[in-house]
Amino acid sequence: MRLNKLIAATAFAMIAGSSYAQTVVIEPAQETVIREYVASHKVEPVELSEVEVAVGTVLPEAVELHAIDAPDITYSYVLVGDQTLVVEPETREIIHIIR
């Protein structure tokens, strides 16, 4: 009986954990919309010397996020050098990098 409970608990943990590890996929059409939006809404690039610029990195609260006001896009962005970081605004996690 204990073994069944252990197996059930392990299976539940694996299923529940997988819902948090979802990968966001930016479709080519979405990337085009984001590129065009960023090109037409100039903001100053920021310097992130203390932060690794990589998908999955959570940006500090001090970094200003810029909303992308486009249909079917719920993300924000930050310019770092010649890169556009697409960010999930609620978690501040970098989900895509446009170079």
- Nearest Cα to Cα of residue 48 among 65, 63, 67: 63
User: Is the residue at 4 inside a domain?
Assistant: no
Provide the residue range defining the domain that includes 71.
Answer: 25-98
Provide the domain count of the chain: 1
User: Is the residue at 62 inside a domain?
Assistant: yes
As a residue count, the chain comes to: 99
User: Is the residue at 80 inside a domain?
Assistant: yes
Whether 67 shows a pLDDT value over 60: the answer reads: yes
User: Is the residue at 33 inside a domain?
Assistant: yes
Q: What pLDDT, in 10s, does the model give residues 11-53?
A: 444 434 433 446 889 999 999 999 999 999 999 999 998 999 9
User: Is the residue at 5 inside a domain?
Assistant: no
User: Is the residue at 11 inside a domain?
Assistant: no
User: Is the residue at 6 inside a domain?
Assistant: no
